Structure 1
């Protein structure tokens, strides 16, 4: 599993063998079966998690037991609950595997040491946070300004690798539309 992470890192930043070894020593491998939780609502999130294989989702469940999916993450993506990690508060979210998956976990403390010890690693983390923030802003804007058809078209354009890997009812939840609406949109798209 670490080889996938090492390749990802070396595609982003320059690391020597000593720095790679330092990173490898603090990584903990975790395998998740389909539907297995990485994080459950109410637990405190204490890691930075990098996905080496598989597909996961972050979501909440309301009082009517409806799921609201915040994001999907596949290989070479990071996943977790930043609010819980930063504040040490119970998470409002669940993270589970949509398919059998493997992740590397780095504790909050070890992650901080890596950022202090390896400046280019900190630069990478800052870049990832900036991109994540921009993507979140874009997602919020799309969710409040686009109609259902436009939301789906945007999702297919921006996340084609994910669109083919997740069940349609989850895509509908992510887009904030009903599965019936998504089914209607997909049928209309097939006719075009």
Structure 2
């Protein structure tokens, strides 16, 4: 998790952008040359699989890092869309500024922390999809991201968890009756 100090340092050199609901931070097959920290609002990353199914790969809310990191890091086109779910304010740094700041010790450490957080989040998600049952994934998600159910609709959360919305409804219903 990024510290307040990390976020403050990032904001000092970043520029603020505001995006409205249904706008895109990046589109599939576009270059993503921005990395940002969400100040307020929500976004989600998604793509379509080979069968045309809509799959949510990430949910972004306040104090999370938003980017298509593979595109940002390598200069290849983004494999996914990042779309605004609710009006959003993001502090962003473009690739040119990022490269300039890498020569400064404090920013090198900050960017190291950002990269580690992105990587660790990806590893946790991949592991949970393989090792945990749907209910365990859901319980882990709501335990670690307290406002997730207020921030996003059920169909996006279900897609993120790789379950059907009806399954999520059933899990929530069981959880309420057992609690």
TM-score by length of 2: 0.89
Please give the secondary structure, in 1, of the residue aligned with 2:83.
strand
Return 5+ residue gaps in structure 1 as ranges: 1-7
Selected match of 1:188 from 156, 174, 179: 174
1:20 shift after superposition: 7.8
Q: Does 1:12 align with 2:9?
A: no
Q: 2:76 — aligned with what?
A: 89
Check conservation: 2:11, 2:91, Cα contact below 8 A. Answer: no
Q: Does 1:46 align with 2:33?
A: yes
Q: 2:145 — aligned with what?
A: 159
Pair 1:97–1:20, CA change in 2 (3 A): closer
1:93 shift after superposition: 0.4
Q: Does 1:74 align with 2:61?
A: yes
Check conservation: 2:7, 2:37, Cα contact below 8 A. Answer: no
Selected match of 1:115 from 94, 102, 114: 102
1:91 shift after superposition: 1.0
Distance in 1 between the 2:16 and 2:106 partners? 23
Check conservation: 1:13, 1:120, Cα contact below 8 A. Answer: no
Please give the secondary structure, in 2, of the residue aligned with 1:152.
helix
Distance in 2 between the 1:142 and 1:101 partners? 28
1:30-67: per-residue Cα shift (whole Å, max 9, x none)?
21111111111011111112212111111112244322
Distance in 2 between the 1:121 and 1:84 partners? 20
Q: Does 1:174 align with 2:174?
A: no
User: Which entry has the higher C-alpha Rg, 1 or 2?
Assistant: 1
Please give the secondary structure, in 2, of the residue aligned with 1:90.
coil
The CA RMSD measured in Å over matched residues stands at 2.2
Q: 1:147 — aligned with what?
A: 133
Distance in 1 between the 2:3 and 2:142 partners? 27
Check conservation: 1:13, 1:121, Cα contact below 8 A. Answer: no
Distance in 1 between the 2:8 and 2:78 partners? 34
